[in-house]
A and B are shown apart, each in its own frame.
Chain A
Amino acid sequence: MSAATQDTAVSTGSFTRAFLYLVLILFALFYLLPLYVMGVNSVKPLTEITGGNMMALPSVWTLEPWRQAWSTAQIGVEPTGLKPYFLNSILMVVPAVAISTIVGALNGYVLTKWRFRGDTWVFGLMLFSCFIPFQIVLIPMAVVLGKLGLAGSVPGLILVHVVYGIGFTTLYFRNYYASFPTELVRAAMIDGAGFFRIFWRILLPVSGPIAVVSVIWQFTNIWNDFLFGVSFGGTSQPMTVALNNLVQSSTGVKEYNVHFAGAILAALPTLLVYIVAGRYFVRGLMAGSVKG
């Protein structure tokens, strides 16, 4: 609503406006193209794709590629379909998102309402950890996971994602709580409320929006991760790694329709989150880039 009144005051002629719409619509088609290609080819028999009709609607509609991708396709050496890997991803994502968000909330609370000497340094060190290339930690992480007996397991992946996720979740909650009036916290302290009581009663009830941002950001990042999954997944590989194995497999006929169905399956959870809560998704992206 308010966005409309903030538009720039530039006035344009009708020819220019037609041009604007043309460019904007062409770009929209460009962004939709891969989604269309995946969707339309995942419900076609393979012969229609190899026959060179990738852009056409199916002449025979079939859900067989979806069934195969889900339960019978060859992933690596086992004909298990993507189902077990989808489950791995769920088992990994849910605890990792929950833990990193809760820890981030507590950290943000301490860093804004219980400030101490050197807290900016602590935060700075945690913040930088969000931006390291993860290649720098792959080797020692492999060693440590091996020592802990967590290599190739879902708990191992949860640990990795929590460790490298708390930087971002702390950033979100810190920036959000920074604008919450500290006087209210002081008043509660004078009334004798303790550390956890203040958090539980005063800050948590207003944390809804930022919690949604944090959950969506973590969910998207962890679900979409490939590097950690392929390095430490072992026999508990997540969905992204399984999809890559399916698509890159060099044996037999390339079943493009099954690949496309698998790709949509891998994309579905994050896509659904985006459709349901796109507004928060964008806000999370912005908060991660423009630290305000």
Chain B
Amino acid sequence: MAASGDVDFRTRLQDWLPRLVLAPSFAVTLLFVYGFILFTIVLSFTGSKMLPRFTWVGFENYEKLFALPAWNTAIVNIAIFASLYIVICTAIGLLLAIFLDQKIRGEGVLRPIYLYPMALSFIVTGTAWKWFLDPGIGLQQVMRNTGWESFTFTWIKDADYALYTIVIAAVWQTSGFVMAMFLAGLRGIDNEILKAAQIDGASNWQLYRRIVIPLLRPAFLSAFVILSHLAIKSYDLVVALTGGGPGRATEMPATFMYSYTFTRNQMGIGASSAVIMLMTIAAIMVPYLYAELKEKKA
């Protein structure tokens, strides 16, 4: 009895071992990701100020949030920033990938140069661009020193243009990565298709427009998902480059959430802004991940 029970226990342990090994990670994910999301959602319906308090206020925080000029600035800014960032990164990435794919001598040197910014933190990127774009010591001063006395470039200090300096720095950081994604896509295309099209008399332009670019659809999709996700999360770069200024000109949802939660003691409003951010990202990521996982199964 005792012996067979022991064997039974051991085989059962073997059966359960894989699940036991996975269990801590799954539990941690449930608690620290989904539990925390739930917690933040609950907080967004409470009157929490400096610390979490569970006094139910309904949708009041959301009403206040969308009435705040700072939040509306943040929404407009993220829309402009994300659109420009995604379009410019994709355009530069595609251009560089197609050009690099033309049997370029020195590809091995050029490719790492395009990609290295991705290894740097946004704080380092922000520091470099902040001083390079500073009118007092950077680009403007350099051009004036070379004799172009009237050269003016004050975007980073100008409330109407500061947002575009964030686009410049962000594009600098990620466009090389988009290039690598497109290049991998291009290298995966069967040469025979292209040769056949050439025999049929297609010009280079037609070849790319009609055949190559449509075949790169998966790379476009991945680039879009990754870039939009990076754009919505952008916090460090704004902090390092402009600090959200001048004034509130470069406020983004990420900087808004941080300042309302931790420095302005409006935790309820901060939580509701985080919920809006999550919903936006989920609307993009969930269908994408679902399709990817389903494809794997089939």
Contacts and interface: CB of A to CB of B under 8 A. Distances in A.
Interface stretch (A58-66, A73-81, A203-211, A240-248): A240-248
A138 interface: yes
A289 B100 contact: no
Contact of A136 (B37, B198, B223): B37
A138 B19 contact: no
Interface stretch (B58-66, B69-77, B153-161, B179-187): B179-187
A227 B289 contact: no
B61 to A, nearest CB: 13
Contacts of A28: 110, 113-114
Interface in B120-159: 120-125, 127-132, 136-138, 141-142, 144-145
A251 interface: no
Given A24-B100, A133-B274, A138-B274, A286 B180 contact: yes
Contacts of A270: 119-121
A20 interface: yes
Contact of A37 (B40, B104, B131): B131
Interface residues of A, number: 98
A21 B106 CA distance: 10
B115 interface: yes
A124 interface: yes
A226 B121 contact: yes
Contacts, number: 292
Contact of B104 (A24, A50, A224, A225): A24
Q: How large is the interface on B (under 10, 10 to 19, 20 to 34, 35 or more residues)?
A: 35 or more
B18 A110 contact: yes
Interface in B278-298: 278, 281-282, 285-286, 289-290, 292-293, 296-297
Main secondary structure on A side of the interface with B: helix
Interface in A234-292: 240, 243-244, 247-248, 256, 259-260, 262-263, 266-267, 270-271, 273-274, 278, 281-282, 285-286, 289-291
27 contacts: A6-B187, A6-B191, A7-B187, A28-B110, A34-B132, A37-B131, A52-B144, A125-B26, A125-B33, A126-B26, A126-B29, A128-B289, A137-B36, A139-B261, A140-B40, A163-B33, A164-B32, A195-B21, A196-B17, A220-B119, A226-B235, A231-B262, A247-B130, A247-B240, A263-B127, A290-B181, A290-B218
